[in-house]
A and B are shown apart, each in its own frame.
Chain A
Amino acid sequence: MSVTLVFLAVVLLIAGWWLAHQRLFSKPWLEIGHTHDPRPHGPPDIAPAQIGLGVFLVVVGALFTLFISAYFMRMASTDWWSTPMPKILWLNTAILGLGSLLLHAARVTAEHHRDEASRTALIAALASGLAFLAGQVFAWRELTDAGFLLADNPANSFFYMISGMHGLHILGGLFALSRVIVKTRARPMDEKAVLSITLCATYWHFMLAVWLVLFVLFSGWANDFVELCRSLLT
């Protein structure tokens, strides 16, 4: 559970930093009137949806961190042998990264009111998302054809389960993205549209980061590092 605890410590640090700016040491019973509100004009400008997405990503982060914790704890047993990584995963990673870049481009072009370019980038991002999912399915097929079945070995089980969970999150992201595409199709890119695209892009960058961590995990590059940590702890 140490991975989870590290994640939690980071979340708590951020929460503590935020709380430190909330005048927790003030004496509210002595303060009457309005001058003590750190937000003198009511709620700040940052959109609730952005905060909401941030909090949601923390929850998603906790979810994958817990999966990774379970992975490391289960790894310690003797019946574990690593699953080979299909080559196509490199291509998939590149496609996912491309999607991230495209969404970034869509955001920047929308901010500069180059609406057509932005729309094209959005559709290209959607296509790259679908390509990534198709690539993941190919990777699964390749593994099962080579005889690495789900229940044969815990490493296989974790690979299918965690990459499947990541795929489900990508699928949810694609659903949101296609809604944004339909909504912005006939309208000029106003502030609201830029916000929606920014939210999609943030989500995508995050899921890319999660995938990179998972990729490192599955290919076993993290094992030496984990061994090092383990020997340091014991």
Chain B
Amino acid sequence: MVDIRHGTSEQIGPAEVEDVELYHPHSWWTRYVFSQDAKIIAVQYASTAIAIGMVALVLSWLMRLQLGFPGVFTFIDAERYYQFITMHGMIMVIYLLTALFLGGFGNYLIPLMLGARDMVFPYANMLSYWLYLLAVLVLVTSFFAPGGPTGAGWTLYPPQAVLSGTPGGKDWGIILMLSSLILFVIGFTMGGLNYVVTVLQGRTRGMTLMRMPLTVWGIFTATVMALLAFPALFVACVMMLFDRVLGTSFFMPAIVEMGEQLQHGGGSPILFQHLFWFFGHPEVYIVALPAFGIVSDLISTHARKNIFGYRMMVWAIVIIGALSFIVWAHHMYVSGMNPYFGFFFATTTLIIAVPTALKVYNWVLTLWRGDIHLTLPMLFALAFIVTFVNGGLTGLFLGNVVVDVPLSDTMFVVAHFHMVMGVAPILVIFGAIYHWYPKVTGRMLNEVMGQIHFWVTFVGAYLIFFPMHYLGLIGMPRRYYEMGETAFVPASAHTLNEFITIMALVVGAAQIVFLFNLIWSIRHGREAGGNPWRATTLEWQTPETPPRHGNWKELPVVYRWAYDYSVPGAAEDFIPQNQPGSTGLGAEEAS
């Protein structure tokens, strides 16, 4: 028998803090458009991110059409191909994944899960969204600018990014790209301050840090990382803008372009790479940590079992966040560096596998002998675990310098990062949308459409990216517009490329089913009620569904952690966090 420590009083009055002054909208415009309510801002962020994400999806279709059927689609010339690659990568990583996880889920879940009425700085929160929208619009403008968008690759490496050989390099493309990123960073900083300070200051009575759901831990840590990492992107963009527009030589070495000596000289392209990857690697975890957190909550709720090793999960999130700042140069093994640096960065990279593996074990152990409900969120969560392990294992290959050097410029890398930071986080996003949609709209998403969406997406993603590993191993280079006659690439590889392209079209089409489901279910979905998943966390205990402005009538008081599922002796198989009472022991964990 274990010792459960109880508080002195069973029933505690509501918080003695004075209520925050809530902003009160007076018109339709301030209520739904220029809204300062975090829930509305969350929906605005999510819709914008999904809309621009659909553009990136179509771009990937076009790219795959060229790779699978070279020469058939004549409107895709080499320039356009590079523009599609660049915009696909940049949109997916920054404008979709980062914005959706932090701006979308962060805004919706942080105040609700912590029992707050809203974010602490609602006005800055609103500005954050509008700057993000502006950044997206500037990005979209570049499609229509003379010369089209930049085709420099999503890493925008100088000097090629600002030279005339690269699409958009001497036109508006690169300028609009850099301006858009600068706007994004400013907007994100405003939102990020909100998320961090709300976690620090906005928690309701009884909500200690160690009682926060792992979703909030993931988003919180990712936001702290983003606040420290995005300045590096900002600095890199400002300096490259200076090089491009004002003729400075921060990154530009002496260069002869089209037989003409440019006025640049002495600059260091490696300097850009350091700045970019100092942002770029934490960015991977800025996307992954919220996914880790959300998936922990999905698994626990839908397996009706407390999360295994909650403390370890929290520590692992924090440790991964800290470590991810000292691994950036593993993206630069082929850029040339002191061999000892390579050794150092390979070591730190492999060390990150330890806390990450710990999290995977804990998810699996949470499932062990759980009462697994194969609901849509659970299916996506399971798919995430498998996919993340797959992508993570190839990461162990690429983290080693000697293995990375021959593989670095092949399709193997494309397969690796799509598995680990493309497909895996997107699966969590889908799972999370199926999970929280009932809270946002009051209705369930359609189950049949959801099943079609899940199976096509999950199986299809494997059919796309598994063969790519093989293509990479036989040496098929990435970034090539077309292969032409190459001795080492057999004809079967071309057949495989056609297959991958067809699967990409199919998986993309499944997302249209999902979009239709999102819109259709707002009106025609089954009524969800307040707590359809019978979950413990605070967002499911709101007096109204969807929660109204201000979230609560009276601020909730938290009496227990977020994972009291299947507690022995309890009347139901879950005990909400705001329910006082004595029974509340996660049975497996305690002994």
Set of chain A residues within 8 Å of B71, measured between Cβ atoms? none
Hey, which chain A residues are within 8 Å of B306, CB to CB?
29
Cβ 8 A contact of B8, one of A11, A31, A33, A42: A33
Partner of A34, one of B206, B248, B275, B315: B206
Choose, from A49-57, A83-91, A124-132, A137-145, the stretch at the interface.
A49-57
| A78 and B586 contacting across the interface, CB-CB below 8 Å | no
Among A15-23, A95-103, A204-212, A223-231, the stretch that binds chain B is A15-23
Kindly state the separation between the CA atoms of A77 and B207 in the bound complex, as whole angstroms: 53
Q: Interface code A32-67, partner B: CB below 8 Å = 1, 0 otherwise?
A: 111111110111101011011001101100110011
Nearest CB on A from B535, distance (A):
17
Cβ-neighbour of B121 out of A22, A43, A44, A52 (below 8 A)? A52
- B265 beta carbon closer than 8 Å to chain A: yes
Cβ-defined contact, B120 with A62, below 8 A: no
A6 at the A/B interface (Cβ < 8 Å)?
Answer: no
Contacts of B211 in A (CB 8 A): 28
Q: In whole angstroms, how far apart are the Cα atoms of A35 and B246 in the complex?
A: 61
Chain A residues within 8 Å of chain B by Cβ, number: 56
Beta-carbon contact of A48 and B235 below 8 Å: no
Q: Which of B5, B15, B193 contacts A42 (CB 8 A)?
A: B15
Write the chain B residue with the least CB distance to A161. B242
Query: Size range of the interface on B?
Result: 35 or more
Q: Does A157 contact B (CB under 8 A)?
A: yes
Find chain B residues with CB under 8 A from A150 CB.
246-248
A5 to B325, CA, bound (A): 9
Contact indicator B201/A1 (Cβ below 8 Å): no
Cross-interface CB contact of A27 among B9, B239, B311, cutoff 8 Å: B311
A105 to B428, CA, bound (A): 53
Residues on the B chain within 8 Å of A11, using CB: 228
Contact of A22 among B15, B210, B267 (CB under 8 A): B210
Residues from chain B with a CB closer than 8 A to the CB of A42 are 15-17, 204-205
Indicate if B285 sits at the interface (CB-CB under 8 A). no
Inter-chain CA distance A182–B318, complex, in Å, is 43
**In the complex, B374 has a CB within 8 A of chain A:** no
- Determine if B346 is an interface residue (Cβ-Cβ < 8 Å): no
CB distance from A22 to the nearest CB of B (A): 5
> Is A70 located at the chain interface by the 8 A CB criterion?
yes
Interface check B351, CB cutoff 8 A: no
Cross-chain contact B189 with A59 (CB below 8 angstroms)? yes
Q: Are B274 and A73 in contact (CB under 8 A)?
A: yes
Contacts of A80 in B (CB 8 A): 266
Interface members, chain B 525-576 (any A CB < 8 Å): 557, 559-561, 563-564
Q: List A residues 153-211 near B (Cβ within 8 Å).
A: 154, 157, 161, 165
Asked if B7 and A36 sit within 8 Å, CB to CB, the answer is yes
Given contacts A37-B206, A38-B208, A70-B239, contact A28 B310 (CB under 8 A): yes
Inter-chain CA distance A59–B194, complex, in Å, is: 13
Residues of B within 8 A of A63 (CB): 231, 234-235
Q: In the complex the two chains form, is A34's CB within 8 Å of B559's CB?
A: yes
Whether, in the assembled complex, B127 has its beta carbon less than 8 Å from a beta carbon of chain A, the answer is no
In the complex, which residues 202-226 of chain B have their Cβ closer than 8 Å to any Cβ of chain A? 202-211, 224
Q: Which of the 9-residue segments B157-165, B483-491, B577-585 touches chain A?
A: B577-585
Is residue A93 within 8 Å, beta carbon to beta carbon, of the partner chain?
no
Whether A213 sits at the interface, judged by CB under 8 Å, is no
Distance in Å: Cβ of A13 to nearest Cβ of chain B: 11
Question: A37 to B205, Cβ gap below 8 A?
Answer: yes
Complex Cα distance, B3 from A85, in Å, reads 69
In the complex the two chains form, is A1's CB within 8 Å of B274's CB? yes
Once A29-B561, A48-B121, A70-B271 are accepted as A-B contacts, the answer to whether A62 and B228 lie under 8 Å apart by CB is: yes
Whether A94 sits at the interface, judged by CB under 8 Å, is: no
B5 touches A34 (CB 8 A): no
Contact of A37 among B208, B318, B564 (CB under 8 A): B208
B235 touches A35 (CB 8 A): no
**Considering the chains assembled together, what is the distance between the CA atoms of A205 and B325 in angstroms?**
28
- With A23-B208, A32-B4, A42-B16 known as contacts, the answer to whether A4 contacts B278 (CB < 8 A) is yes
Known contacts A37-B207, A63-B235; can you find 19 more A-B pairs with CB under 8 A? A11-B228, A29-B563, A30-B590, A32-B7, A33-B10, A34-B9, A34-B559, A36-B7, A37-B206, A41-B17, A41-B205, A51-B197, A52-B197, A55-B196, A56-B189, A56-B193, A63-B231, A66-B235, A150-B246
**Could you pull out 22 A-B pairs where Cβ atoms are within 8 angstroms?**
A11-B228, A19-B318, A24-B315, A28-B211, A30-B4, A33-B7, A35-B8, A41-B15, A43-B17, A44-B201, A52-B197, A59-B228, A62-B228, A62-B232, A66-B232, A70-B271, A70-B275, A74-B268, A150-B247, A151-B248, A151-B263, A154-B267
